[in-house]
A = this chain, B = another copy of it.
Amino acid sequence: MPITSDSTVAEVLDDYGKITRAELKNWLPKGDPEDYLYGPMSDYPMRGGRMFRPSLCIATAKVFGASLEQVIPAAVSIELLHNALLIHDDIEDESDERRGKPTLHKKIGTPLALNAGDSLAFLSLRPIIRGSASMGSDSIVRILEEFDQMAQQTAEGQALDLGWRRDNHIELCEADYLKMVLKKTCWLTTLFPIRLGALIGSGGRANLDSLFNFAFFLGAAFQIQDDVLNLIGNHERYGKELGGDLLEGKRTLMLVNLLELSSSSERVRIKAILDTPRDARSDASVSWLRSAMIERGCIEYAKELAHGLAGAASHEFDKTFKELPESSDKAFLSKLPSWVIERS
């Protein structure tokens, strides 16, 4: 069924996701060493996933004037890099599950998983480089500089997330949380796909910085919804262990909000729970944390903030994209703010 302006977000994700995945398979090397490298590199990309990032890049590029063929290499690069970083994130977070199955390092051990992630990260540059080879050196350099900026911002965000947890840092406010999310989530999830799409679609003429607000609000709403789903989602559809963020001590919006609302004695208790090594953290203390978040309205608060951010993203979209011609891709983009907060 061809995509039209009436297509749902799920339908477009399914369509662009299939196209991206079919092309992505061609970029995954085969052969030796199969068990130690190329099998593990293909594992996460072949598990599925929503394909939100590549679809966002494809739709943006087409809105700005690209053909599907022109933007596919960029979409493949984004999805490959996302999967590479998931492998490393799962090691860093000691996560057990990814897309409904054991994480890669649980399956094959940390050393081989780390190496497969490295190889997939370098591979992620290949489609974008080959795809832009005919564009002239200015375009190649601009595209690679976009990639470079995103990689640096993502590493900064990941460093904040990991560092705050390592040091059991609890003096955090909502602004700290949003700064972390901007870097850790938004650059790879929304800013880079949108900027790269606009760059490719416009042949370098679009003002990429004007797209910042839409991308940031959309990405932040996406991450907060993810925080919420981790706590109260449907395990089968979510694909990760529920409450994993609590076990991993992640600085989610709910946790930051709970800390802000807590008395100093409660903060001491929360800090002690977070300080317990993951394996030693009792079910009772995790349940207490979850209940406190519910009782204090932290989950409701997170949902409201995600709602507000999605509304702001919608507003920014209308403002920024108003001069661009109507199309099924523009309709898809306009529906994303609602979708990110409604998805389960």
The secondary-structure label for the interface of chain A is helix
Q: Is the CB of A112 within 8 A of B144?
A: no
Residues of B within 8 A of A109 (CB): 166
Residue-wise interface mask of A (106-143) relative to B, using a CB-CB cutoff of 8 A (1 in contact, 0 not): 00111110111011011101100110011111001100
A208 close to B (CB within 8 Å): no
Residue of B nearest to A151 (CB): B122
Stretch of A11-19, A87-95, A211-219 contacting B (4+ beta carbons < 8 Å): A87-95
In the complex the two chains form, what is the Cα distance from A125 to B129 in whole Å?
Answer: 13
A10 close to B (CB within 8 Å): no
A29 close to B (CB within 8 Å): yes
Residues of B within 8 A of A92 (CB): 110-111, 114-115
Q: List 8 A-B contacts (CB under 8 A).
A: A88-B118, A91-B114, A115-B159, A118-B158, A119-B159, A129-B144, A136-B137, A140-B140
Q: Is the CB of A35 within 8 A of B133?
A: no
Q: Is the CB of A33 within 8 A of B140?
A: no
Q: Is the CB of A115 within 8 A of B162?
A: yes
What is the distance, in angstroms, from A244's C-beta to the closest C-beta of chain B?
Answer: 15
In the complex the two chains form, what is the Cα distance from A152 to B129 in whole Å?
Answer: 15
